[in-house]
Amino acid sequence: MLNDKLQAYKKKERIPRPTPAKYKKEFPFLKEVDCFALVAAQNHIENAFRNHFKNRKHFKLPKFKKKKDKQSYTTYNVHDSIKVDFERSLLYLPKLREGVKIELHRRFDDKIKSVTVSRTNDSKYYASILVKTENPRNKVVEPKSKDCWVDLGLEHFVTVTNDFGSHKVEHPKYLLKAEERLRRLQRSFSRK
């Protein structure tokens, strides 16, 4: 899908919006993959192109993932295809009949929206589960008064104090970051 879109972009043609089903004849291994994972990949590509056309300075054109980089895939929970067995510590994903043994960090009771499975360079797998919850854990508490005190400082950029306590804001260090970038660019320029 990405290749077709990039080829059309280079030829200055209208960018197509192909679906994963179009590629299943040419690439039969796609039939083994969960169809919702293919839809998630299509959505990622669409979002990447949309972001690029909205803000070309900030978002570059999407490119292919490298095999040596972190690998991941996302799948959606449609018709309760993703389940977690908390007693046996198993994660059930689409197209996997037997569950995958996992180490759970916390329990949840709400509906699973999607799961992203990532493989790091040291061959460890992580599953990030996105859950839609009705009752958030961290409830927002309204302050008793709208008053707050702001103190500009030398160690910290600003210290804001209100009913809940004080919050320190670090210096943004624009000058140091700009000097570091200039140092890198000058080093690169001297080699050319």
Indicate if 120 and 89 belong to the same structural domain.
yes
Looking at the structure of the chain, the number of domains it has is 3
The edge-to-edge listing of strands for the beta sheet with 83-85 is 83-85, 90-92, 100-101
Under 8 Å between Cβ of 75 and 36? yes
Indicate if 160 and 121 belong to the same structural domain.
no
Q: Which domain, by its residues, includes 77?
A: 71-132
Indicate if 111 and 80 belong to the same structural domain.
yes
Torsion of CA 44, 46, 47, 48, to 10 degrees: 80
141 assigned to some structural domain:
no
How does pLDDT run across 24-66, given as a tens digit for each residue? 999 999 999 889 999 999 999 999 999 999 999 999 999 998 8
66 assigned to some structural domain:
no
Indicate if 77 and 123 belong to the same structural domain.
yes
How does pLDDT run across 124-176, given as a tens digit for each residue? 899 999 998 887 766 666 767 778 889 998 888 899 888 878 888 888 888 88
Which of 86, 103, 132 lies at the terminal end of a domain, its last residue? 132
127 assigned to some structural domain:
yes
What is the rounded distance in angstroms from the CA atom of residue 35 to the CA atom of residue 51? Answer: 24
Under 8 Å between Cβ of 146 and 96? no
48 assigned to some structural domain:
yes
Indicate if 37 and 84 belong to the same structural domain.
no
62 assigned to some structural domain:
no
Indicate if 75 and 125 belong to the same structural domain.
yes
107 assigned to some structural domain:
yes
122 assigned to some structural domain:
yes
7 assigned to some structural domain:
yes
